């Protein structure tokens, strides 16, 4: 299954940054005999039942004594969440390391189950197997990073580690305003709920995403989610991850733009597939986010405005990758926004939404010429003519 993560940058023109990411798929493990595999599954079944029942004693009984102090905090964090589902399925065993798929769902916020691959080490003492810790490569969760607070908004659930509750309440209010803003421009069906996670630092954010902290130093927010390419009505729910350092440097207007941008990614998840070009997915998110911000093209697209000439081609997916340079990223996001803005102005908002849905019908992978076919089907022109019109539009708007 292919996932897509997108982020919103704090520097310059408040960029959004997105990338493709795959989830780990596992076989049934191989090396462990059926008996140890079954024994590990029984331990995890008991632990999952303890989480669902709120039984701290039963939960800690499945944890090795040396790890109980740390796992006690994890259990108490989980008790603060509106869990509707929490289960484990062992998918592989290598010695005393167990690979299991965690499945969980937040009641009232998730329409479908979210999953993550856990890699757990086990210890056997006095003939009893217990969970000892996590192995490298295991999915990292916010509730494992320290004492966690939870705030509920009208349309949002905000989880924070090492953050003041007042800060989380402000974020919930911003998220609550983002949801109706998205609905005004994306009326199609979606959950209309946002789940936001705020770690204590950019290092905590990087741990959640399995990246180096330097990769997210200027990123205000990142949306994680899965897109199967099938447009199913209950795709696994997205999470909006906040970098408290970069996000905190933004003005109130900037925070609203960033949060609304991320909310668009949540809303469009059903229609987003690996075939959706990045210029369209990021452009439509900025188009909706800037609609109510009152910023003109030269304010919202300073890199292109100062470049002296319109870009030659639409941004490619490679232009959005980490390490491509801040100027290149700026131009990619600004150009994408102006492309979607042009479509809404010259063909109408309904055509823009229809183009997004049509472009994502390529399924599991992007096909050669897919964007051209989508443009012809919805706008009546091919990619070459569309690009020429977009270049002229950029020049007219930015001078």
pTM: 0.86
- Residue 384's pLDDT is 96
pLDDT, one tens digit per residue, over 204-254 is 999 999 888 888 877 899 998 765 445 444 455 689 999 999 999 999 999
What are the extents of the domains in the chain? 34-144, 274-399
CB half-sphere exposure, 298, CA atoms < 13 A: 7
How far apart CA 326 and CA 34 sit, in angstroms, is: 51
pLDDT band at 329 (very low <50, low <70, confident <90, very high): confident
Convert the pLDDT of each residue in 102-129 to its tens digit: 999 999 999 889 999 999 999 999 999 9
What tens digit of pLDDT does each residue of 252-280 get?
999 999 999 999 999 998 899 989 999 99
Structure tokens at 251: 């003005």
pLDDT of res. 126: 93
The whole-angstrom separation of Cα 269 and Cα 262 is 11
Encode pLDDT of 133-146 as tens digits: 999 999 999 999 99
> Following DSSP, what letter does each residue of 17-52 receive, concatenated?
EEEEEEPP-----SSS-HHHHHHHHHHHHHHHHHHH
DSSP letter for each residue of 313-381: SPPPGGGGSTTS-HHHHHHHHHHHHHHHHHHHHHT-HHHHHHHHHHHGGGTTSPPTTHHHHHHHHHTSS
Overall average pLDDT of the 74-78 stretch: 98
Q: What is the dihedral of CA 196, 199, 200, 206, to 10 degrees?
A: -140
Class at the top of the CATH hierarchy for domain 34-144 = alpha beta
φ, ψ of residue 335 to 5 degrees: the values are -65, -35
């Amino acid at each position: 299954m292919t996932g897509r993560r997108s982020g919103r940058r704090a520097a310059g023109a408040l960029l959004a940054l997105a990338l493709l990411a795959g989830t780990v798929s596992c076989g049934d493990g191989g090396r462990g005999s059926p008996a140890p595999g079954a024994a590990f599954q029984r331990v995890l079944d008991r632990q999952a039942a303890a989480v669902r029942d709120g039984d701290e004693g039963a939960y800690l009984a499945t944890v090795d004594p040396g790890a109980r102090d740390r796992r006690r905090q994890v259990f108490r964090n989980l008790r603060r969440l509106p869990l509707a589902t929490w289960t484990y399925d062992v998918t592989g065993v290598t010695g005393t390391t167990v690979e299991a798929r965690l499945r969980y769902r937040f009641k009232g916020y998730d329409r479908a189950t979210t999953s993550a691959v856990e890699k757990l080490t086990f210890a056997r003492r006095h003939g009893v197997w217990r969970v000892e810790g996590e192995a490298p490569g295991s999915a990292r969760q916010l509730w494992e990073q320290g004492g966690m607070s939870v705030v509920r908004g009208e349309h949002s659930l905000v989880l924070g580690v090492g953050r003041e509750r007042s800060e989380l309440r402000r974020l919930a209010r911003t998220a609550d305003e983002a949801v109706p803003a998205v609905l005004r421009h994306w009326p199609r069906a979606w959950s209309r709920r946002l789940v936001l996670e705020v770690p204590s630092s950019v290092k905590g954010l990087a741990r959640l995403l399995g990246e180096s902290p330097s990769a997210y130093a200027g990123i205000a927010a990142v949306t994680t989610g899965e897109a199967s390419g099938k447009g199913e009505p209950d795709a696994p729910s997205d999470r909006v991850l906040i970098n408290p350092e970069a996000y905190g440097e933004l003005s109130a207007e900037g925070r609203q733009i960033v949060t609304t941008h991320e909310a668009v990614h949540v809303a469009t998840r059903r229609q987003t597939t690996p075939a959706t070009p990045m210029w369209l997915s990021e452009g439509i998110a900025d188009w909706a986010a800037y609609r109510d911000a009152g910023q003109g093209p030269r304010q919202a697209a300073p890199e292109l405005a100062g470049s002296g000439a319109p870009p030659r081609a639409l941004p490619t997916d490679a232009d959005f990758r980490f390490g491509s340079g801040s100027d290149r990223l700026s131009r990619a996001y600004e150009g994408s926004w102006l492309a979607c803005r042009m479509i809404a102005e010259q063909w109408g908002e309904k055509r823009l939404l229809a183009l997004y849905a049509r472009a994502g019908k390529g399924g599991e992978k992007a096909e050669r010429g897919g964007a051209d076919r989508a443009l012809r089907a919805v706008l009546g022109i091919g990619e070459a003519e569309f690009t020429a019109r977009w270049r002229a539009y950029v020049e007219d708007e930015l001078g």
